Each structure stands twice: as structure tokens, then as C-alpha cells.
Amino acid sequence: MHTRALGQGLEVSAIGLGCMGMSQSYGPNPGDRQDMIGVLRAAVDRGVTFFDTAEVYGPYVNEELVGEALAPVRDQVVVATKFGWRIEDGTSVGLDSRPEQITKVADASLRRLRTDTIDLFYQHRVDPDVPVEDVAGAVAELVQAGKVRHFGLSEAAAATIRRAHAVHPVTAVQSEYSLWTRDPESEVLPTLAELGIGFVPFSPLGKGFLTGAVDTTTAFTEGDIRASIPRFDQDNLAANQALVDHVVTLARARNATPGQIALAWLLAQQPWIAPIPGTRRIERLEENAGSTQVALSADDMADLDATAARIGVHGDRYNPQHMRLVGK
């Protein structure tokens, strides 16, 4: 797999691996921890060098999983994790990006990840009670101490990115982005291009929708976050299905899968974009990695963009509570 450079020269595989689903959010968690360790190590064998986790995933257990799996190959990979939540009794109870909390989280994440340095440390959500300048300053101190290499932001607005970057260089911004979620295009992506910051799309396959594996007949299991997301209501799924149908048709014509088309579309947007699709299965790792070999023509790209614009998107990408936390 070829590599890409985010900001500040951070080199990562063109397709990374979002690890959250190995510990939460998509129905019953895998019963065998060793199976997930096997998937993580298989990703490295297939050229993936970019792994995304967070203290709040679990909480904590996802970092522990990633740390154990990647310990033997730690010098070959880039590990990103996140701070920004107050966690009490194993539950996230609100935002907390106070500088002292950031330092505390960094030390705990280092232990769980079994490493001396966090490659990329994101603020998970912008905290309205803490100026982002203070956040950037706290991370800058961690960089100076050698505990963190790079600073990132997640779901931040363009103005916030500029303020943070003025204090300490931002290496990457992570937000949801796909054919199904185009929000970053108007302000965030132009800002990143101007400032030389990389972009890391999460949910690049629309939480499974763009693979064609989800439709109005899908019954989400207990613990699957999609059951609470308006975009996955039956009426909205039915309205959005036309986009997936178009992707499926193009995939057949290009001898690819729908998921590969969706990822190839993202990769073609900018050379500093590195998506992080999540999976629990080795065959999906291989499929996602294969998207780097799918060449979409200018006509293909224009066709996908025109189709997405014509169909539009029905339903919000989060429930109202979570929507209040993005784009700040």
C-alpha cells in the first residue's frame, strides 16, 4: 500500500484502520480478544500503518487492545488516540479538555498503548468551556516533553482549527466524510489546504451504508449505534438507497466493490486525505486496502458528485445530543 503525508510530514498508509468497532458501537463485541489482535496484526501485514483509537472507546479497553496487538511492531506504525472526555465509573459524563486533564489522559494512554510516545493526539470534541488555545498549549507541552509527536482535532470548525494552529501546528483534523457526508467541503477542507493540515475521514463507508450491506430490511442488534441515528431510520434509508444503487452499478463496471468505490472517491479528493474505515474482519481489511488500486476517471468522479447532489441526504448523521458537539 502506498503512503500519504498529513501535516508536519507525518507519513501514514493511504488507508488506515479505525479500531473503535472492535470494542463498542456496532452490536455485540467480539467474544475472543485474540481474534481482534489477529485482525490488527493482519492489517500491518497488509501494509496498514495508521491505527485510530481513543480512551473513551470502551472506555479504555480499545487502547489496551491496540497497545497489546501493536507492541511487537510499534516502530512500524502510527498510533492515534484522543482526549477530551470526563470518564466516571466507566462512563463518559461530559467534555473535559482542561490542560491538567489532557496531561493526565496522555500519561494513562501511554501506559495502555504500551508506548513512550503518542504519534497523533486528537482533541476528540471541542470543549466550549476551555479555549482551544489552552488545549493547543497543553499539547505543545506534551510534544516538548516527548510524550506526543503530533496534535490533531476532531469535528472542529474552520475558525477553531485556525486558532489552534496559531498556537501549535495541527497535523490532522478528523471528521466524518464520505459520499454520504459532505459537510467538511465548504469550509474545513479549504482551510486545511491553506494551512497544510492533513484530513482523516472516519466513517468513510457511511457506517456500512455505502458498502450496500445495509438497507430497509436490516435489523440492528442491541448496542448498535445505527439504531439511534436518524439517517438509518427506515424512511431515510429508503430515500438514500438510490445513491448506494448508483455506487453498486459503478462498482460492477469497474470490477470493484461498492466500498472500494466509496474509498477510491475519497482518496481522489486530495493527496493529504487518509480514510480510516473500521472492520473486525480480515477479508474486509483486504477489500479496503484494494481501494488504492481502483482508478476512477474524471467522468466517474463527476458522475458520483452529480448523483450525490441530485439525491441529497435524508436524515442527520447523529442524534440531536451528538449533533450539538460537532462543528464547534
pLDDT digits (tens, 9 = 90+) for 200-248: 999 999 999 999 999 999 999 988 999 999 999 999 999 999 999 999 9
Q: Which of 57, 122, 177, 318 is catalytic?
A: 57
Q: Any idea which residue has 462512563 for its cell?
A: 91
pLDDT score of 155: 98
The mean per-residue pLDDT over the stretch 12-31 comes to 90
Q: Please determine, for residue 25, whether its predicted confidence score (pLDDT) is greater than 90.
A: no
Percent of the chain's residues with pLDDT above 70: 100
pLDDT digits (tens, 9 = 90+) for 256-278: 999 999 999 999 999 999 999 99
pLDDT score of 102: 98
Distance CA 218, CA 232 (A): 10
Total Cβ atoms within 10 A of residue 42: 17
pLDDT digits (tens, 9 = 90+) for 271-322: 999 999 999 999 999 999 999 999 999 999 999 999 999 999 999 999 998 9
Distance CA 185, CA 174 (A): 13
pLDDT score of 26: 84
Cell of 93: 459524563
pLDDT score of 24: 86
Give the domain ranges of the chain: 3-208+270-294
pLDDT score of 28: 78
Please check whether residue 108 is in contact with residue 99, taking contact to mean a CB–CB distance below 8 angstroms. no
Query: pLDDT confidence of 32, banded at 50, 70, 90?
Result: confident
pLDDT score of 184: 98
The mean per-residue pLDDT over the stretch 180-184 comes to 96
pLDDT score of 307: 95
pLDDT score of 225: 93
CATH number 3.30.2350.10 is the correct assignment for the domain at 3-208+270-294: no
- Ramachandran class of 255: left when φ > 0, alpha when ψ lies in -120 to 50, beta otherwise: left
Q: Please determine, for residue 95, whether its predicted confidence score (pLDDT) is greater than 90.
A: yes
Is 122 an annotated catalytic residue? no
Average pLDDT, the chain: 96
